[in-house]
Structure 1
Protein backbone atom coordinates (compact mmCIF):
# COMPACT_ATOMS: atom_id res chain seq x y z
CA UNK A 1 0.00 0.00 0.00
CA UNK A 2 1.35 3.42 -0.94
CA UNK A 3 0.43 6.31 1.35
CA UNK A 4 -0.79 9.49 -0.26
CA UNK A 5 2.24 11.69 -0.59
CA UNK A 6 3.84 14.12 -2.98
CA UNK A 7 6.02 17.18 -2.95
CA UNK A 8 3.03 18.99 -1.57
CA UNK A 9 1.31 16.80 0.98
CA UNK A 10 -2.40 16.59 1.72
CA UNK A 11 -5.00 15.98 -0.98
CA UNK A 12 -7.80 16.19 1.62
CA UNK A 13 -8.22 18.39 4.67
CA UNK A 14 -10.82 18.74 7.44
CA UNK A 15 -11.44 21.88 9.43
CA UNK A 16 -13.71 23.23 12.13
CA UNK A 17 -16.83 23.01 9.98
CA UNK A 18 -15.72 22.19 6.43
CA UNK A 19 -13.90 19.69 4.23
CA UNK A 20 -11.74 20.34 1.19
CA UNK A 21 -10.08 18.20 -1.47
CA UNK A 22 -7.90 18.43 -4.58
CA UNK A 23 -9.26 16.93 -7.79
CA UNK A 24 -7.05 15.14 -10.31
CA UNK A 25 -7.04 18.21 -12.58
CA UNK A 26 -5.71 20.52 -9.85
CA UNK A 27 -9.01 22.19 -9.06
CA UNK A 28 -10.41 22.20 -5.52
CA UNK A 29 -13.76 21.21 -4.06
CA UNK A 30 -15.19 22.05 -0.63
CA UNK A 31 -18.10 20.94 1.53
CA UNK A 32 -19.48 22.97 4.40
CA UNK A 33 -21.77 25.81 5.29
CA UNK A 34 -23.18 27.39 2.10
CA UNK A 35 -21.61 30.77 1.53
CA UNK A 36 -18.86 30.28 4.11
CA UNK A 37 -15.72 32.11 2.92
CA UNK A 38 -13.46 29.14 3.61
CA UNK A 39 -15.42 27.12 1.04
CA UNK A 40 -14.98 29.67 -1.77
CA UNK A 41 -12.31 27.66 -3.57
CA UNK A 42 -14.00 27.12 -6.93
CA UNK A 43 -11.65 29.37 -8.89
CA UNK A 44 -8.40 27.80 -7.67
CA UNK A 45 -6.27 26.03 -10.28
CA UNK A 46 -3.01 24.03 -10.44
CA UNK A 47 -3.33 23.05 -6.77
CA UNK A 48 -1.33 20.12 -5.41
CA UNK A 49 -2.20 20.28 -1.70
CA UNK A 50 -4.66 21.87 0.70
CA UNK A 51 -4.89 22.63 4.41
CA UNK A 52 -7.89 23.61 6.52
CA UNK A 53 -7.67 25.84 9.56
CA UNK A 54 -8.91 23.79 12.48
CA UNK A 55 -9.91 24.64 16.03
CA UNK A 56 -11.63 22.75 18.80
CA UNK A 57 -15.41 23.03 18.80
CA UNK A 58 -16.70 25.59 21.27
CA UNK A 59 -19.44 28.22 21.41
CA UNK A 60 -16.95 30.97 20.58
CA UNK A 61 -15.27 29.21 17.63
CA UNK A 62 -16.38 28.49 14.10
CA UNK A 63 -14.63 30.72 11.60
CA UNK A 64 -11.87 29.11 9.59
CA UNK A 65 -9.65 29.46 6.53
CA UNK A 66 -8.42 27.26 3.70
CA UNK A 67 -4.93 27.25 2.20
CA UNK A 68 -3.70 25.78 -1.08
CA UNK A 69 -0.25 24.99 -2.41
CA UNK A 70 0.13 25.40 -6.16
CA UNK A 71 2.35 23.31 -8.43
CA UNK A 72 4.73 26.26 -8.87
CA UNK A 73 5.46 26.42 -5.12
CA UNK A 74 3.28 29.44 -4.37
CA UNK A 75 0.36 29.53 -1.94
CA UNK A 76 -3.08 31.05 -1.75
CA UNK A 77 -5.63 31.27 1.06
CA UNK A 78 -9.22 32.29 1.64
CA UNK A 79 -11.56 32.65 4.59
CA UNK A 80 -11.19 34.18 8.01
CA UNK A 81 -8.18 36.54 8.03
CA UNK A 82 -8.52 38.29 11.36
CA UNK A 83 -4.85 37.78 12.22
CA UNK A 84 -3.40 37.80 8.73
CA UNK A 85 -3.41 34.01 8.45
CA UNK A 86 -4.39 34.29 4.79
CA UNK A 87 -1.55 36.69 3.91
CA UNK A 88 0.51 34.13 2.01
CA UNK A 89 0.50 35.58 -1.51
CA UNK A 90 4.18 36.49 -1.36
CA UNK A 91 5.43 33.06 -0.37
CA UNK A 92 7.66 31.23 -2.85
CA UNK A 93 9.43 27.89 -3.01
CA UNK A 94 6.92 26.19 -0.73
CA UNK A 95 7.22 22.43 -0.21
CA UNK A 96 4.43 21.70 2.31
CA UNK A 97 1.69 23.67 4.07
CA UNK A 98 -0.34 23.48 7.27
CA UNK A 99 -3.16 25.50 8.80
CA UNK A 100 -4.17 25.86 12.42
CA UNK A 101 -6.24 28.25 14.50
CA UNK A 102 -5.58 31.77 13.14
CA UNK A 103 -2.30 30.55 11.62
CA UNK A 104 -0.73 29.22 8.43
CA UNK A 105 2.65 27.49 8.17
CA UNK A 106 4.79 26.44 5.22
CA UNK A 107 8.01 24.49 4.90
CA UNK A 108 10.20 26.03 2.22
CA UNK A 109 12.36 23.92 -0.08
CA UNK A 110 15.49 25.39 1.54
CA UNK A 111 14.44 23.96 4.93
CA UNK A 112 13.21 27.19 6.50
CA UNK A 113 9.63 27.85 7.62
CA UNK A 114 7.20 30.63 6.85
CA UNK A 115 4.40 31.61 9.25
CA UNK A 116 1.45 33.97 9.01
CA UNK A 117 -1.17 34.75 11.61
CA UNK A 118 -1.57 35.20 15.32
CA UNK A 119 1.67 35.74 17.24
CA UNK A 120 0.42 35.95 20.83
CA UNK A 121 1.00 32.33 21.84
CA UNK A 122 4.39 31.92 20.21
CA UNK A 123 3.22 29.39 17.63
CA UNK A 124 4.56 31.57 14.80
CA UNK A 125 8.05 31.75 16.30
CA UNK A 126 9.54 29.42 13.70
CA UNK A 127 12.00 31.78 12.04
CA UNK A 128 15.04 29.99 13.41
CA UNK A 129 13.96 26.51 12.38
CA UNK A 130 16.20 24.86 9.80
CA UNK A 131 16.25 21.67 7.71
CA UNK A 132 12.47 21.33 8.02
CA UNK A 133 10.70 19.05 5.55
CA UNK A 134 7.13 19.18 6.91
CA UNK A 135 5.04 21.24 9.33
CA UNK A 136 1.88 20.76 11.39
CA UNK A 137 -0.34 23.34 13.07
CA UNK A 138 -2.43 22.74 16.16
CA UNK A 139 -4.64 25.19 18.00
CA UNK A 140 -1.86 27.02 19.84
CA UNK A 141 1.29 25.17 18.85
CA UNK A 142 3.32 24.43 15.72
CA UNK A 143 5.43 21.39 14.92
CA UNK A 144 8.24 20.89 12.42
CA UNK A 145 9.81 17.69 11.12
CA UNK A 146 13.53 17.91 10.37
CA UNK A 147 15.27 16.07 7.56
CA UNK A 148 17.11 13.90 10.09
CA UNK A 149 13.84 12.59 11.57
CA UNK A 150 13.87 14.75 14.70
CA UNK A 151 11.06 17.12 15.65
CA UNK A 152 10.80 20.68 16.94
CA UNK A 153 7.80 22.55 18.36
CA UNK A 154 6.81 26.08 19.38
CA UNK A 155 3.85 27.66 21.13
CA UNK A 156 1.70 26.78 24.12
CA UNK A 157 2.87 23.69 26.01
CA UNK A 158 0.16 23.51 28.68
CA UNK A 159 -0.39 19.76 28.23
CA UNK A 160 3.09 18.85 27.10
CA UNK A 161 2.09 19.04 23.44
CA UNK A 162 5.49 20.53 22.61
CA UNK A 163 7.53 17.83 24.41
CA UNK A 164 8.97 16.35 21.23
CA UNK A 165 12.70 16.96 21.69
CA UNK A 166 13.48 13.28 22.24
CA UNK A 167 11.67 11.95 19.19
CA UNK A 168 13.78 10.20 16.56
CA UNK A 169 13.32 8.46 13.18
CA UNK A 170 10.05 10.31 12.56
CA UNK A 171 8.52 10.26 9.07
CA UNK A 172 5.33 12.27 9.69
CA UNK A 173 3.82 14.60 12.30
CA UNK A 174 0.37 15.97 13.13
CA UNK A 175 -0.88 18.52 15.67
CA UNK A 176 -4.31 18.78 17.27
CA UNK A 177 -5.97 20.87 19.95
CA UNK A 178 -3.69 19.99 22.89
CA UNK A 179 -1.71 17.08 21.47
CA UNK A 180 0.94 16.07 18.95
CA UNK A 181 1.44 12.69 17.30
CA UNK A 182 4.03 11.27 14.94
CA UNK A 183 4.76 8.08 13.02
CA UNK A 184 8.25 6.60 12.89
CA UNK A 185 10.13 4.85 10.12
CA UNK A 186 9.23 1.46 11.58
CA UNK A 187 5.50 2.17 11.83
CA UNK A 188 5.19 3.06 15.50
CA UNK A 189 3.26 6.06 16.82
CA UNK A 190 4.67 8.66 19.21
CA UNK A 191 2.31 10.93 21.12
CA UNK A 192 2.41 13.72 23.67
CA UNK A 193 -0.13 16.08 25.19
CA UNK A 194 -3.65 15.68 26.56
CA UNK A 195 -4.08 11.98 27.39
CA UNK A 196 -7.88 12.05 27.00
CA UNK A 197 -7.50 12.34 23.24
CA UNK A 198 -6.56 8.70 22.69
CA UNK A 199 -2.79 9.06 22.88
CA UNK A 200 -2.08 5.94 24.93
CA UNK A 201 -4.15 3.77 22.58
CA UNK A 202 -2.49 5.26 19.51
CA UNK A 203 1.00 4.40 20.77
CA UNK A 204 -0.01 0.72 20.71
CA UNK A 205 -0.73 0.80 16.98
CA UNK A 206 1.77 -0.92 14.71
CA UNK A 207 2.58 -0.94 10.99
CA UNK A 208 1.31 2.65 10.64
CA UNK A 209 2.33 4.70 7.60
CA UNK A 210 0.63 8.03 8.33
CA UNK A 211 -1.27 9.84 11.07
CA UNK A 212 -3.44 12.90 11.59
CA UNK A 213 -4.81 14.71 14.63
CA UNK A 214 -8.22 16.30 15.08
CA UNK A 215 -9.39 18.48 17.90
CA UNK A 216 -9.84 15.61 20.34
CA UNK A 217 -9.08 12.48 18.33
CA UNK A 218 -6.31 10.90 16.28
CA UNK A 219 -6.29 8.80 13.11
CA UNK A 220 -3.78 6.40 11.63
CA UNK A 221 -3.49 4.40 8.41
CA UNK A 222 -1.62 1.10 8.31
CA UNK A 223 0.29 -0.43 5.42
CA UNK A 224 -2.77 -2.45 4.34
CA UNK A 225 -4.97 0.64 3.99
CA UNK A 226 -6.95 0.10 7.17
CA UNK A 227 -7.74 3.04 9.44
CA UNK A 228 -7.35 3.28 13.21
CA UNK A 229 -8.92 5.93 15.44
CA UNK A 230 -8.72 6.84 19.12
CA UNK A 231 -10.00 9.61 21.34
CA UNK A 232 -13.32 11.44 21.50
CA UNK A 233 -16.03 9.63 19.55
CA UNK A 234 -19.03 11.64 20.75
CA UNK A 235 -19.93 12.54 17.16
CA UNK A 236 -18.90 9.24 15.58
CA UNK A 237 -15.67 10.69 14.24
CA UNK A 238 -13.80 7.52 15.23
CA UNK A 239 -16.20 5.12 13.49
CA UNK A 240 -13.67 4.23 10.78
CA UNK A 241 -12.85 0.59 11.49
CA UNK A 242 -14.66 -0.59 8.35
CA UNK A 243 -12.67 1.69 6.01
CA UNK A 244 -10.39 -0.14 3.57
CA UNK A 245 -7.95 0.72 0.78
CA UNK A 246 -7.33 4.16 2.33
CA UNK A 247 -4.25 6.15 1.33
CA UNK A 248 -4.81 9.36 3.33
CA UNK A 249 -6.88 10.63 6.25
CA UNK A 250 -7.84 14.05 7.61
CA UNK A 251 -9.12 14.71 11.12
CA UNK A 252 -11.28 17.77 11.69
CA UNK A 253 -12.85 19.20 14.78
CA UNK A 254 -15.68 16.66 14.96
CA UNK A 255 -15.38 14.69 11.73
CA UNK A 256 -12.93 12.49 9.85
CA UNK A 257 -12.20 11.96 6.16
CA UNK A 258 -10.51 9.11 4.33
CA UNK A 259 -9.20 9.09 0.77
CA UNK A 260 -9.33 5.73 -0.99
CA UNK A 261 -6.88 4.65 -3.66
CA UNK A 262 -9.55 5.03 -6.33
CA UNK A 263 -9.99 8.74 -5.46
CA UNK A 264 -13.29 8.40 -3.60
CA UNK A 265 -13.71 9.92 -0.15
CA UNK A 266 -15.17 8.46 3.04
CA UNK A 267 -16.46 10.44 6.02
CA UNK A 268 -17.48 9.89 9.63
CA UNK A 269 -18.68 12.18 12.38
CA UNK A 270 -20.76 15.29 12.63
CA UNK A 271 -22.32 16.36 9.33
CA UNK A 272 -23.61 19.79 10.38
CA UNK A 273 -23.31 22.30 7.53
CA UNK A 274 -22.79 19.43 5.09
CA UNK A 275 -19.13 18.99 5.96
CA UNK A 276 -19.42 15.22 5.37
CA UNK A 277 -21.14 15.53 1.99
CA UNK A 278 -18.16 14.11 0.13
CA UNK A 279 -19.49 10.83 -1.18
CA UNK A 280 -19.51 12.02 -4.80
CA UNK A 281 -16.03 13.51 -4.76
CA UNK A 282 -13.40 12.12 -7.12
CA UNK A 283 -9.95 13.31 -6.08
CA UNK A 284 -6.33 12.73 -6.90
CA UNK A 285 -4.37 10.35 -4.69
CA UNK A 286 -0.83 9.35 -3.78
CA UNK A 287 -0.55 7.00 -6.73
CA UNK A 288 -1.05 9.95 -9.11
CA UNK A 289 2.05 11.73 -7.86
Structure 2
Protein backbone atom coordinates (compact mmCIF):
# COMPACT_ATOMS: atom_id res chain seq x y z
CA UNK A 1 0.00 0.00 0.00
CA UNK A 2 1.35 3.43 -0.96
CA UNK A 3 -1.08 5.37 1.25
CA UNK A 4 -2.96 7.03 -1.61
CA UNK A 5 -6.76 6.94 -2.01
CA UNK A 6 -8.91 5.86 -4.96
CA UNK A 7 -12.43 7.25 -5.33
CA UNK A 8 -15.48 6.70 -7.54
CA UNK A 9 -18.48 8.95 -7.95
CA UNK A 10 -19.62 12.17 -9.57
CA UNK A 11 -16.78 13.94 -11.35
CA UNK A 12 -15.78 17.09 -9.50
CA UNK A 13 -17.60 16.21 -6.28
CA UNK A 14 -15.75 17.65 -3.32
CA UNK A 15 -15.89 14.39 -1.39
CA UNK A 16 -13.67 12.86 -4.10
CA UNK A 17 -10.88 15.40 -3.75
CA UNK A 18 -8.32 13.08 -2.19
CA UNK A 19 -5.62 13.08 -4.86
CA UNK A 20 -3.23 15.04 -2.64
CA UNK A 21 -3.67 12.74 0.33
CA UNK A 22 -0.76 10.52 1.36
CA UNK A 23 0.18 8.21 4.18
CA UNK A 24 -3.43 7.02 4.53
CA UNK A 25 -4.06 3.76 6.41
CA UNK A 26 -7.87 3.85 6.61
CA UNK A 27 -10.75 5.72 4.96
CA UNK A 28 -14.42 6.25 5.79
CA UNK A 29 -17.22 7.66 3.65
CA UNK A 30 -20.13 9.59 5.09
CA UNK A 31 -23.53 8.07 4.42
CA UNK A 32 -26.65 9.65 2.94
CA UNK A 33 -30.37 8.93 3.08
CA UNK A 34 -30.79 8.15 -0.62
CA UNK A 35 -28.75 6.82 -3.51
CA UNK A 36 -28.05 10.36 -4.74
CA UNK A 37 -25.05 11.75 -2.89
CA UNK A 38 -23.54 14.57 -4.96
CA UNK A 39 -22.67 17.38 -2.57
CA UNK A 40 -24.14 15.55 0.39
CA UNK A 41 -21.30 13.31 1.48
CA UNK A 42 -17.83 13.56 2.98
CA UNK A 43 -14.69 11.43 3.03
CA UNK A 44 -12.36 10.96 5.98
CA UNK A 45 -8.83 9.59 5.95
CA UNK A 46 -6.67 8.36 8.83
CA UNK A 47 -2.96 8.91 8.34
CA UNK A 48 -0.31 6.61 9.75
CA UNK A 49 0.84 9.36 12.12
CA UNK A 50 -2.60 9.40 13.81
CA UNK A 51 -3.84 12.62 12.24
CA UNK A 52 -7.05 12.85 10.20
CA UNK A 53 -8.01 14.47 6.89
CA UNK A 54 -11.52 15.20 5.59
CA UNK A 55 -13.10 16.62 2.46
CA UNK A 56 -16.64 17.14 1.21
CA UNK A 57 -19.92 18.39 2.61
CA UNK A 58 -19.26 20.25 5.87
CA UNK A 59 -22.52 21.95 6.72
CA UNK A 60 -22.51 20.59 10.29
CA UNK A 61 -18.76 20.63 10.86
CA UNK A 62 -18.29 16.96 10.05
CA UNK A 63 -15.02 17.75 8.30
CA UNK A 64 -13.56 19.77 11.18
CA UNK A 65 -10.92 17.20 12.11
CA UNK A 66 -7.71 19.12 11.39
CA UNK A 67 -6.67 19.23 15.04
CA UNK A 68 -7.27 15.55 15.83
CA UNK A 69 -4.25 13.43 16.78
CA UNK A 70 -3.43 10.03 18.27
CA UNK A 71 -6.35 8.55 16.30
CA UNK A 72 -6.36 4.79 15.70
CA UNK A 73 -9.80 4.26 14.11
CA UNK A 74 -12.36 6.40 12.23
CA UNK A 75 -15.98 6.22 11.10
CA UNK A 76 -18.20 8.55 9.10
CA UNK A 77 -21.97 8.85 9.13
CA UNK A 78 -24.55 11.31 7.90
CA UNK A 79 -23.13 14.76 8.82
CA UNK A 80 -20.84 13.21 11.48
CA UNK A 81 -17.31 11.89 11.96
CA UNK A 82 -16.14 9.67 14.82
CA UNK A 83 -12.73 8.56 15.99
CA UNK A 84 -11.14 6.25 18.53
CA UNK A 85 -7.99 7.62 20.16
CA UNK A 86 -4.97 5.63 21.28
CA UNK A 87 -6.11 5.85 24.91
CA UNK A 88 -9.48 4.23 24.09
CA UNK A 89 -11.52 7.41 24.26
CA UNK A 90 -13.70 8.80 21.46
CA UNK A 91 -14.08 12.06 19.57
CA UNK A 92 -16.98 13.26 17.46
CA UNK A 93 -17.74 16.23 15.25
CA UNK A 94 -20.73 17.18 13.15
CA UNK A 95 -24.50 17.13 13.61
CA UNK A 96 -25.53 17.19 17.28
CA UNK A 97 -29.32 17.32 17.05
CA UNK A 98 -29.99 13.69 17.97
CA UNK A 99 -27.25 13.35 20.60
CA UNK A 100 -25.12 11.05 18.46
CA UNK A 101 -21.98 13.05 19.31
CA UNK A 102 -22.31 12.45 23.05
CA UNK A 103 -19.34 10.09 23.22
CA UNK A 104 -17.10 12.07 25.58
CA UNK A 105 -17.52 9.58 28.43
CA UNK A 106 -16.78 6.47 26.37
CA UNK A 107 -13.62 4.57 27.27
CA UNK A 108 -11.73 1.36 26.50
CA UNK A 109 -12.88 1.53 22.87
CA UNK A 110 -11.40 -0.44 19.99
CA UNK A 111 -13.80 0.66 17.22
CA UNK A 112 -16.68 2.99 16.41
CA UNK A 113 -19.47 2.98 13.83
CA UNK A 114 -21.59 5.90 12.64
CA UNK A 115 -25.18 5.51 11.55
CA UNK A 116 -27.28 8.32 10.19
CA UNK A 117 -28.55 9.47 13.58
CA UNK A 118 -26.74 7.26 16.07
CA UNK A 119 -23.20 6.29 17.05
CA UNK A 120 -21.97 2.90 18.23
CA UNK A 121 -18.81 1.99 20.11
CA UNK A 122 -17.12 -1.38 20.63
CA UNK A 123 -15.14 -1.85 23.83
CA UNK A 124 -12.17 -4.13 24.30
CA UNK A 125 -14.19 -6.47 26.50
CA UNK A 126 -16.67 -7.16 23.69
CA UNK A 127 -19.49 -4.99 24.99
CA UNK A 128 -21.17 -2.26 22.93
CA UNK A 129 -22.27 1.33 23.60
CA UNK A 130 -24.70 3.44 21.58
CA UNK A 131 -26.01 7.01 21.68
CA UNK A 132 -28.32 9.10 19.53
CA UNK A 133 -31.73 8.46 18.04
CA UNK A 134 -33.21 5.11 18.99
CA UNK A 135 -36.74 5.54 17.66
CA UNK A 136 -36.53 2.13 15.97
CA UNK A 137 -34.51 0.54 18.76
CA UNK A 138 -31.18 0.90 16.95
CA UNK A 139 -29.38 1.81 20.19
CA UNK A 140 -30.66 -1.16 22.21
CA UNK A 141 -27.28 -2.90 22.41
CA UNK A 142 -26.66 -2.96 26.17
CA UNK A 143 -27.00 -6.73 26.44
CA UNK A 144 -24.60 -7.64 23.64
CA UNK A 145 -21.50 -9.61 24.64
CA UNK A 146 -18.48 -11.17 22.90
CA UNK A 147 -18.74 -8.73 19.99
CA UNK A 148 -15.77 -8.48 17.62
CA UNK A 149 -17.06 -5.95 15.06
CA UNK A 150 -19.89 -3.42 14.73
CA UNK A 151 -21.77 -1.69 11.93
CA UNK A 152 -24.40 1.06 11.90
CA UNK A 153 -26.92 1.95 9.20
CA UNK A 154 -29.76 4.40 8.77
CA UNK A 155 -32.04 2.94 11.47
CA UNK A 156 -30.27 -0.27 12.48
CA UNK A 157 -27.16 -1.61 14.20
CA UNK A 158 -25.45 -4.94 13.55
CA UNK A 159 -22.65 -6.75 15.31
CA UNK A 160 -20.40 -9.73 14.65
CA UNK A 161 -20.08 -12.14 17.57
CA UNK A 162 -16.80 -13.95 18.15
CA UNK A 163 -18.41 -17.31 17.27
CA UNK A 164 -19.27 -16.06 13.76
CA UNK A 165 -22.92 -15.19 14.32
CA UNK A 166 -24.49 -11.79 13.62
CA UNK A 167 -27.00 -9.91 15.78
CA UNK A 168 -28.95 -6.81 14.81
CA UNK A 169 -31.46 -4.34 16.23
CA UNK A 170 -33.52 -1.52 14.78
CA UNK A 171 -35.93 -1.05 11.91
CA UNK A 172 -37.41 -4.32 10.64
CA UNK A 173 -39.44 -2.89 7.75
CA UNK A 174 -37.08 -3.87 4.90
CA UNK A 175 -35.71 -7.12 6.30
CA UNK A 176 -32.40 -5.63 7.33
CA UNK A 177 -32.42 -7.62 10.55
CA UNK A 178 -32.85 -11.00 8.84
CA UNK A 179 -29.42 -12.19 9.94
CA UNK A 180 -29.93 -14.71 12.79
CA UNK A 181 -29.25 -17.70 10.51
CA UNK A 182 -25.88 -16.39 9.32
CA UNK A 183 -22.90 -18.44 10.46
CA UNK A 184 -19.10 -18.37 10.06
CA UNK A 185 -19.11 -14.62 9.37
CA UNK A 186 -15.68 -12.96 9.26
CA UNK A 187 -16.52 -9.35 8.26
CA UNK A 188 -19.57 -7.10 8.42
CA UNK A 189 -20.87 -3.80 7.04
CA UNK A 190 -24.15 -1.87 7.18
CA UNK A 191 -25.61 0.33 4.46
CA UNK A 192 -28.55 2.65 4.89
CA UNK A 193 -31.12 -0.13 4.61
CA UNK A 194 -29.11 -3.30 4.07
CA UNK A 195 -26.56 -5.45 5.91
CA UNK A 196 -23.70 -7.31 4.22
CA UNK A 197 -21.30 -9.95 5.55
CA UNK A 198 -18.35 -12.04 4.41
CA UNK A 199 -18.35 -15.68 5.47
CA UNK A 200 -15.43 -18.08 5.77
CA UNK A 201 -14.37 -19.13 2.29
CA UNK A 202 -15.03 -15.71 0.76
CA UNK A 203 -18.75 -15.82 -0.05
CA UNK A 204 -20.95 -12.79 0.71
CA UNK A 205 -24.39 -12.61 2.34
CA UNK A 206 -26.82 -9.68 2.26
CA UNK A 207 -30.15 -8.81 3.84
CA UNK A 208 -32.47 -5.83 3.54
CA UNK A 209 -33.55 -3.41 0.83
CA UNK A 210 -32.50 -4.52 -2.66
CA UNK A 211 -34.33 -1.91 -4.72
CA UNK A 212 -31.07 -0.86 -6.41
CA UNK A 213 -29.49 -4.32 -6.57
CA UNK A 214 -27.23 -3.61 -3.60
CA UNK A 215 -27.86 -7.11 -2.21
CA UNK A 216 -27.04 -8.94 -5.46
CA UNK A 217 -23.81 -10.37 -4.07
CA UNK A 218 -24.55 -14.09 -3.91
CA UNK A 219 -22.22 -14.84 -6.83
CA UNK A 220 -19.23 -13.07 -5.32
CA UNK A 221 -16.29 -15.26 -4.35
CA UNK A 222 -12.87 -14.87 -2.69
CA UNK A 223 -14.00 -11.72 -0.88
CA UNK A 224 -12.12 -10.66 2.25
CA UNK A 225 -13.86 -7.37 3.14
CA UNK A 226 -17.09 -5.52 2.32
CA UNK A 227 -18.36 -1.96 2.53
CA UNK A 228 -22.01 -0.97 2.24
CA UNK A 229 -23.19 2.49 1.23
CA UNK A 230 -26.55 4.13 0.84
CA UNK A 231 -27.65 1.95 -2.09
CA UNK A 232 -24.53 0.07 -3.19
CA UNK A 233 -22.08 -2.55 -1.93
CA UNK A 234 -18.35 -3.01 -2.53
CA UNK A 235 -16.29 -6.14 -2.01
CA UNK A 236 -12.51 -6.45 -1.80
CA UNK A 237 -11.23 -9.72 -3.23
CA UNK A 238 -8.14 -11.56 -2.05
CA UNK A 239 -6.31 -10.57 -5.25
CA UNK A 240 -6.90 -6.87 -4.62
CA UNK A 241 -9.67 -6.35 -7.17
CA UNK A 242 -12.93 -4.65 -6.16
CA UNK A 243 -16.47 -5.85 -6.91
CA UNK A 244 -19.51 -3.57 -6.87
CA UNK A 245 -23.28 -3.99 -6.86
CA UNK A 246 -26.12 -1.52 -6.62
CA UNK A 247 -27.00 1.96 -7.75
CA UNK A 248 -24.70 3.29 -10.46
CA UNK A 249 -26.78 4.94 -13.20
CA UNK A 250 -26.18 8.45 -14.52
CA UNK A 251 -28.25 10.03 -11.76
CA UNK A 252 -26.46 8.11 -9.04
CA UNK A 253 -22.96 9.37 -9.68
CA UNK A 254 -20.95 6.30 -10.65
CA UNK A 255 -20.10 5.10 -7.17
CA UNK A 256 -19.83 1.52 -8.47
CA UNK A 257 -17.27 2.38 -11.14
CA UNK A 258 -14.44 0.37 -9.61
CA UNK A 259 -13.42 -1.66 -12.67
CA UNK A 260 -9.66 -1.55 -12.96
CA UNK A 261 -9.00 -0.84 -9.30
CA UNK A 262 -6.16 -2.94 -7.93
CA UNK A 263 -5.71 -2.59 -4.20
CA UNK A 264 -3.17 -4.24 -1.98
CA UNK A 265 -4.57 -7.68 -1.16
CA UNK A 266 -5.64 -8.04 2.45
CA UNK A 267 -3.24 -10.02 4.61
Same fold per superposition (TM over 0.5): yes
Counterpart residue number, 2:140: 163
Q: Distance in 2 between matches of 1:59 and 1:31?
A: 13
Deviation at 1:285, TM superposition (A): 3.7
Q: Does 1:39 align with 2:20?
A: no
Q: After the TM superposition, which residues 101-120 of structure 1 pair with which residues of structure 2 at under 5 Å, given as runs?
A: 101-120=78-97
TM-aligned CA deviation for residue 62 of structure 1: 5.7
Higher relative contact order (CA 8 A, sep 6+): 1
- How many Å apart are 1:199 and its aligned residue? 3.8
In 1, Cα distance between the equivalents of 2:66 and 2:233? 29
The answer (yes or no) to whether the contact 1:99–1:105 under 8 Å persists in 2 is: yes
**TM-score, normalised relative to structure 1:** 0.89
2:220 aligned with 1:233, yes or no? no
Structure-2 separation of matches of 1:25 and 1:58: 30
Change (3 A) 1:219 1:59: closer
Q: Matched residues in 2 for 1:53 and 1:111: separation?
A: 22
- Aligned residue in 1 for 2:182: 205
SS of structure 1 residue aligned to 2:173: helix
Q: State which of 58, 78, 86 in structure 1 corresponds to 2:55.
A: 78
Cα contact 1:217–1:238 (8 A) shared by 2: yes
Give yes or no for the alignment of 1:126 onto 2:106: no
Distance 1:75 1:211 in 2: 24
Distance (whole Å) between structure 2 residues aligned to residue 243 and residue 60 of structure 1: 26
Equivalent residue of 1:202, what SS? coil
Q: Once the 2 structures are TM-superposed, how far is the Cα of residue 286 of structure 1 from its aligned partner?
A: 2.6
Structure 1 segments unaligned to the other structure (5+ residues): 1-23
Does structure 2 conserve the Cα–Cα contact (< 8 Å) formed by 1:264 and 1:281? Answer: yes
Greater shift, 52-61 or 85-94, is seen at 52-61
Q: 1:273 aligns with which of 224, 237, 253?
A: 253
Query: How far apart, in 1, do the equivalents of 2:259 and 2:48 lie?
Result: 26
> What's the counterpart of residue 282 of structure 1?
262
> Secondary structure of the residue that 2:144 maps to in structure 1?
coil
Q: Which of structure 1's runs of 4+ aligned residues deviate more than 6 A?
A: 58-61
1:30 aligned counterpart, secondary structure: coil
CA offset at residue 196 of structure 1?
2.5
Equivalent residue, structure 2, for 1:256: 233
Count of matched residue pairs: 264
> Alpha-carbon deviation of 1:210?
1.3
Aligned-partner Cα distance in 2 for 1:56–1:38: 16
Within the candidate set 202, 221, 224, 1:247 is matched to: 224
Are 1:149 and 2:129 counterparts? Answer: no
Contact 1:220 1:228 (C-alpha < 8 Å) held by counterparts = yes
Matches within 5 A, 1:39-78: 39-57=16-34, 63-78=40-55
Q: TM-score, normalised by structure 2?
A: 0.96
